[in-house]
């Protein structure tokens, strides 16, 4: 049982983390080993995110005092909060990858709250976002799609010019 002073410290720490974040992701880590959680925290540090475990009631107080209308009590299970300074598209990938690689099958992505848009995405949506390739890969695919018709046209012209020269 936390004392009143400890709860105040946790609320202040949560507000500080929330101020520097763009997305708040929620994960269920029950049954996950300490070693796996260490790996997750290391993966999160690569893009500046931090995972903290707050009581759901304290997390609701942190969010309400920061001006966000979201209640984490909607989750039945214990939820770990991942405070991410990057967009959801960048944060969901490593977390989804971790959920697939972990030995614990109990690790679940519960959802995400976009602090800028002030909307909630459920766990399935976050998983779908996590499965998308990175921005650079998507841009390369788009460039390839846009240049493909020109390449095919040039190929046809090249073949036609070879046919007329041979005759």
**Stated pTM of the model:** 0.78
Q: Report whether pLDDT(79) > 60.
A: yes
Q: Read off the pLDDT of residues 86-129 as tens digits, 9 standing for 90 and up.
A: 988 888 888 888 888 887 778 888 889 888 888 898 889 999 99
CA–CA dist 22, 4 (Å, integer): 29
Q: Is the model more confident about 77 or about 139?
A: 139
Strand order across the 23-28 sheet: 50-52, 80-84, 23-28, 108-114, 119-122
Among 153, 38, 25, 162, which residue's Cα sits nearest to residue 93? 25
Q: β-strand 80-84 against 108-114: which pairing, if any?
A: unpaired
Q: Read off the pLDDT of residues 137-148 as tens digits, 9 standing for 90 and up.
A: 889 999 999 999
Q: Report whether pLDDT(80) > 90.
A: no
Among 43, 53, 26, 25, which residue's Cα sits nearest to residue 101? 43
Q: Read off the pLDDT of residues 3-53 as tens digits, 9 standing for 90 and up.
A: 889 888 988 998 898 888 899 999 988 888 888 888 888 888 888 899 988
Enclosing H/E stretch for 34: helix 34-45
* Residue 166: both structure tokens together: 């041979």
């Amino acid at each position: 049982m936390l004392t009143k002073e400890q709860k105040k410290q946790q609320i202040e720490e949560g507000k500080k983390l929330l101020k520097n974040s763009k997305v708040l992701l929620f994960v269920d880590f029950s049954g996950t080993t300490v070693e796996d959680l260490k790996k997750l925290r290391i993966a999160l540090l690569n893009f500046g995110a931090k995972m903290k475990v707050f009581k759901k009631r304290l997390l609701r107080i942190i969010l309400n005092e920061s001006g966000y209308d979201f209640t984490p009590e909607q989750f039945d299970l214990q939820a770990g909060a991942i405070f991410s300074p990057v967009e959801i598209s960048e944060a969901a990938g490593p977390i989804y990858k971790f959920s697939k690689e972990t030995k614990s099958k109990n690790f679940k992505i519960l959802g995400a709250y976009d602090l800028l848009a002030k909307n909630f995405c459920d766990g399935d949506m976050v998983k779908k976002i996590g499965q998308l390739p990175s921005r650079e890969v998507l841009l390369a695919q788009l460039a390839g799609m846009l240049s493909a018709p020109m390449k095919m046209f040039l190929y046809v012209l090249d073949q036609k010019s070879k046919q007329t020269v041979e005759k």
